[in-house]
Amino acid sequence: MSLKSRSAVVTGSTSGIGLAIARALAKDGANVMLNGFGEAAAIETERAGIEREFGVQALYSPADMSKPVEIAGMIAGAGKAFGAVDILVNNAGIQYVSPIEDFPVEKWDQIIAINLSSAFHGMRAAVPGMKKRGWGRIISTASAHSLVASPFKSAYVSAKHAIAGLTKTIALETATFGITVNCISPGYVWTPLVEKQIPDTMKARGLTKDQVINDVLLAAQPTKQFVSVDEVAGIAVFLCSDGAKNITGANISVDGGWTAA
């Protein structure tokens, strides 16, 4: 329970990696603010379940990560409710796949806003309190696409590369204040999002489920295994520990060897 008395905001935590990170931080004793879209009843069940299971305070913010004013409001609200925002996890993200000549301009703007600018706005709002208290942990869920590119993902790859640069910059700005700023770069993670793509890909490419998994999704991943959400969450918890106080400005790959190739 090393995070007892700490409080965290995890963006995009109604599903997938963000939910696993929020649950892992709560398991380690932190109060958590959930955020993201979804069905109200399901989100409430998850929120109440975290409080019951881990004995922490869990709140939910519906803030839209494409809206700077809502992001600042979420951080201020968490600070008021918990007394502090000690941990900020910038995790909300979306994807869109298209050749650049057909890439919708509004999709580019949306991905840059949600996958990149939201982290800027969140950090901008959370850093002053962390500096004042002399302790903070900022983690962004980047991607293997912060290090290498794939075709047809211009906005996503641009946003994720930029997150790695933003991470390094804010790490340098906050290094003497007891704050660390890092990103985690997963390869393919088994989330509902990835799972839901399989039937459509089977149909579109005329492949079996195994072929989609092995020849399409895992083609880039030398281990030929999906990363699990819990593996990503475990790294986030470690980065929040005192043992990780000298890890800052890092981009930690969890990609089954993808970016070693």
Q: Which residues bind ligand NAD (CB under 6 A)?
A: 12-18, 35-38, 64-66, 91-94, 114-115, 141, 143, 186, 188-189, 191-194
In the complex, minimum distance from the CB of residue 195 to ligand NAD, in angstroms, rounded to a whole number: 9
CB 58 within 8 A of CB 32: yes
Active-site residues: which are they?
A: 156
The residue whose two tokens read 């997963």 is 186
DSSP SS3 for 137: strand
Nearer to ligand NAD, 82 or 188 (CB): 188
In the complex, minimum distance from the CB of residue 19 to ligand NAD, in angstroms, rounded to a whole number: 7
Nearer to ligand NAD, 135 or 188 (CB): 188
Structure tokens at 126: 């959370």
C-alpha gyration radius of the chain: 18
Nearer to ligand NAD, 115 or 248 (CB): 115
Structure tokens at 259: 């970016």
Distance CA 145, CA 245 (A): 26
Residues with Cβ within 8 Å of 103's Cβ and at least 6 positions away in sequence, in order, are 96, 154, 155
In the complex, minimum distance from the CB of residue 34 to ligand NAD, in angstroms, rounded to a whole number: 8
